[in-house]
Structure 1
Amino acid sequence: MPTVPILMPQLGESIAEATVIRLDVAVGDEVKTDQEIIEVETNKAVMSVTTLCNGIVSEIRAVEGTSYSVGSLLGILEVTEEEAIRTGVDTTESLEAKNNQQQEGKSGEENLHFALDGDSYEEDPSIIPSVKGLPVPTGTMGAHYISPRMRARMDDMGLREADISAIVGTGAGGRVTVEDLERFLDYLEDWPSGPASPMRMAVADAMRRSWTRPLATVGLPVLLDRTLNHRREQNPKPGLTLYLLRALALALKEQPMTAGYLIGERVVHPRSFDIGVAVQVEDGVVVPTVRKVDQKSLSELIADYDDLVDRARRRRLTEEDSSGGIATVTNFGTFGLTTGTPIPLPNETLILGIGAGRKMPVWSKEVEAFLPATEAELLLTFDHRVVDGGGAGILLKRVAALLQKPEEL
């Protein structure tokens, strides 16, 4: 009987690999078309690998806790001739034949590394890289020029420049050499450690890319009493973050340039005011996108917002749910924090954050006395290439003003 491979599917446009977290079938099990058989975790959500046709599981190669790239062989199904013809999927035999042809066509000149300044790529075969994305403590000197030999070793280990930036270099000009890196790894050998989750690695990668831009933050205290009073009168009650989403969307609609992208010598303006909301999950943050926030009232947004946040916390977002946002709102006040410097996603120009509300004495012109009021810090981090401090300040003041008229949101 022919066999059909179970492959790691393309689970999203930007997803290159996924980690197997649960096997729902065993060898010998009979499965149906589109049956969920393997649960995997990407950097954004928990998803399932499904079968392409009816058959019997003859082999499982996937191992729980292991990451596999798109197209990797996770298992094999034994199917009938009729089923293989009906579904039109490639059999395991045909795929192996294609792979063998590709391997034979490859040149033997692979993985060549060119050295400069006599820094050749002759490594000790006894040294086996075993650390990926390793954080390093603060040192006194940073990494400067990275030689091709060092670059090749970093590629082998999955390290980025940020991972070695604090290692004290002993090479020319203070550069970090392979020997410096190996000594540092030996030094950390006995430290407590564990593998970083796909979520943590995704957050780390996004923050590295975000920080390649000149980011700046401006802040403004905002009174929340009117917003909180309005919320108490609603049924169902919108969250404070939803008020921020709506206020930011309306302010951006008036000033669309502040959410533009700088592409070469052009500023590209947003065509839709879709805004993300930062949701804390285990070991990271996910950002589902609320669509057309400028076109819907608070009451119309509640259902969509609550559904997205709930699925985000359960890691059940799709690629569409978390793409295409032009800005993000984050409410770090839920952790009791009063201020912070939120960082926008690499594909966004700005992020709006709010801290915890505090009772403060505020001067009232009506009664000419200080009265208690709930005040919170409103913060806006932005790409300074696109927006100047003045423009960011105008946008932030407009958001604060809209929060004083919650009935119009």
Structure 2
Amino acid sequence: MIEIKVPELAESLTEGTIAQWLKKEGDYIEKGEAIVELETDKVNVEVNSEYSGVISGFLFQPGDNVEVGQAIATLDENGTVTGDTNEVATASKQEEKVEQQQKPTTATEEKQETNAVTVQEKENQRKPIASPAARKRARELGIDLNDVPYQDTLGRVRVDGVEAYKKSLSSKENQPEVRKQQPQQKADEKDDMVERIKMSRRRQTIAKRLVEAQHNAAMLTTFNEVDMTAIMDVRNRRKDSFYKKHGVKLGFMSFFTKAVIGALKEFPLLNAEIQGDEILLKKFYDIGIAVSAEEGLVVPVVRGADRLSFAGIEKEIGVLSEKAKTNTLGLRDLQGGTFTITNGGIFGSLYSTPILNAPQVGILGMHTIQRRPVVIDKEDTIAVRPMMYIALSYDHRIVDGKDAVQFLAKIKALLEDPEDLLLEG
């Protein structure tokens, strides 16, 4: 019997959650064929079998957490698939011999066996379905799993359910006697109107990283606004010829990516990270572009963006966005990154404060373009222009406020003068 184990995923990933089994018990699987989909902190990955054979059993169910190197299924290399039900028939002569030598049981033995089976069935009916980690935690807390009401959508008790039940017991013990005697009718009625949904591993990771970013960095945000007239004029004049030549649309993101790179070259501390008591200055420009996916925001990386043309940037963003939508991003697509750009404007956001994508020390927030009256300095007149608010969140531990403000002003200047952007970007 061969064990299928969780392979090495990435340097920073040590565990995952079983999203779904891609085969059934009793199915025959070829070497190199995918057997399970794992949800990790970053992406979903498929685990391929290193052997051919019949799947004799799954050791974990969807929703269970598994660690790298842990056995998750067993495979029988000598097994065969028989019938429409895909039952496994082994060719072991040892088992055939045992079956031939087996003697019929007496009536008493049969009765005893039947009674034992009945008792076992009753025990199984009383035994709740729970993950191994939940059973372990329940034993540590002295909790009967039958008493735990918190279950996931598949009816399984999980660790967070055990913890929640323990917390509810503690809170009840600490409540005054008068409150214990109060009727629970209203609370029960509201419970029927509440849906409990377990957070996906990726959503938990997003939440954890966002909180860590605010706790571990001295994050500040500075704002400015950009007159998008010049860029919109260039796009309107060149979009048709650009698409005809390159097969991709000329969007705003390539302009902003080039502007960010131009500003990073002038203010290199925003293209750095902190490692202990050292500052790691990065002299390459791998720009993360935040993309909204079904399970939350992901930040795939456009590598060597400084060496790409406008068309190259647009094509790379298009490929990464499509991967995000189809849930096919690889770990390498998300690793690294020296600076991040996020565009809340596609959802209509007018003004917001982006949160750092640790360990990066800078993130630029784009917003919706809104036509509003502004004063034209050189002409001393008021005109209606397409304006966009931009925001820079930065780590004040290594980036001074003066540099942050000037960095954002540099981006504004490059965007408002596309010719200068082409020369410096």
- Is the structural similarity TM-score above 0.5? yes
1:207 aligns with 2:210: yes
Asked if structure 2 preserves the Cα contact closer than 8 Å seen for 1:276 and 1:290, the reply is yes
Could you tell me how far 1:367 is from its partner in structure 2?
5.6
Q: Structure 1's 159 and 272: CA in aligned 2 closer, same or farther, altered over 3 A? A: farther
Q: Is the 8 A contact 1:29 1:57 kept in 2?
A: yes
Instruction: State the 1:182 CA deviation.
Output: 7.9
Partners of 1:183 and 1:354 lie apart in 2 by 49
Q: Secondary structure at the match of 1:211?
A: helix
Equivalent residue for 1:363? Answer: 375
Distance in 2, Cα, partners of 1:381 & 1:159: 39
Aligned with 1:126 (options 131, 139, 143): 143
Contact 2:58–2:74 (8 Å) recurs in 1: yes
1:341: which partner in 2? Answer: 353
Residue aligning to 1:305:
317
Deviations 1:47-104 (A, max 9, x none): 21101022221222332233322223221111259xxxxxxxxxxxxxxxxxxxxxxx
Residues 185-206 of structure 1: per-residue CA shift (max 9 Å, x gap): x999945422111121010111
> Does 2:228 correspond to 1:224?
yes
Q: Deviations over 1:249-277 (max 9, x none)?
A: 12102221222223344322013111101
Q: Aligned pair in 2 of structure 1 residues 131, 253: CA closer, same or farther (>3 Å)?
A: farther
**Aligned match of 1:239 in 251, 255, 262?**
251
1:136 aligns to what?
none
> Given that residues 6 and 71 in structure 2 are in contact (C-alpha distance below 8 angstroms), is that contact kept between their aligned partners in structure 1?
yes
1:69 alignment partner AA:
E
- How far did 1:368 drift? 4.9
**Structure exhibiting the larger radius of gyration computed from Cα positions:** 2
User: Following the alignment from structure 2 to structure 1, what is the Cα–Cα distance between the partners of residues 414 and 28?
Assistant: 59
Give the whole-Å Cα distance in 2 for the aligned partners of 1:392 and 1:43.
31
Deviations 1:376-408 (A, max 9, x none): 111000001010111100110111111123351
Report the equivalent of 2:111: none
The answer for the alignment partner of 1:49 in structure 2 is: 47
Task: Name the amino acid aligned to 1:49.
Answer: V
Cα separation, 1, equivalents of 2:365 and 2:211 = 20
- In structure 2, do the counterparts of structure 1 residues 131 and 252 end up closer, same or farther at CA, with 3 Å as the change threshold? farther
Matches within 5 A, 1:28-177: 28-79=26-77, 125-126=142-143
SS of structure 2 residue aligned to 1:294? helix
- Indicate how the Cα distance of structure 1 residues 54 and 200 shifts in structure 2: closer, same or farther if over 3 A, else same: same
Q: Deviations along 1:7-60, whole A, 9 cap, x unmatched?
A: 122222222222222222122222211111212222222221101022221222
Deviates more, 1:297-306 or 1:370-379: 297-306
Q: 2: CA distance between counterparts of 1:365 and 1:14?
A: 51
User: Which is helix-richer, 1 or 2?
Assistant: 2
Q: Which residue of 1 aligns with 2:18?
A: 20
- Pairs aligned (count): 329
Quote the Cα distance in structure 2 between the aligned partners of 1:159 and 1:375.
Answer: 52
User: In structure 1, how many angstroms separate the alpha carbons of the residues matched to 2:349 and 2:37?
Assistant: 36
Q: Name the SS of the counterpart of 1:386 in structure 2.
A: coil
In the alignment, the residues of structure 1 paired with residue 172 and residue 314 of structure 2 have an alpha-carbon distance, to the nearest angstrom, of 51
Question: Identity over the aligned pairs, expressed in percent?
Answer: 27
> Residues 158, 72 of structure 1: CA spacing in aligned structure 2 closer, same or farther, 3 A cutoff?
farther
TM-score (structure 1 length as normaliser): 0.72
State the one-letter code of the partner of 1:262.
Answer: I
Q: In the alignment, is the contact (CA less than 8 A) between 1:330 and 1:353 conserved in 2?
A: yes
Given that 1:44 and 1:315 are in contact with CA atoms closer than 8 Å, whether structure 2 keeps it comes out as: no
1:387 paired residue number = 399
Would the aligned equivalents of 2:274 and 2:359 in 1 still touch at CA under 8 Å? no
Q: For the residues of structure 1 that align with 2:399 and 2:354, how far apart are their CA atoms?
A: 16
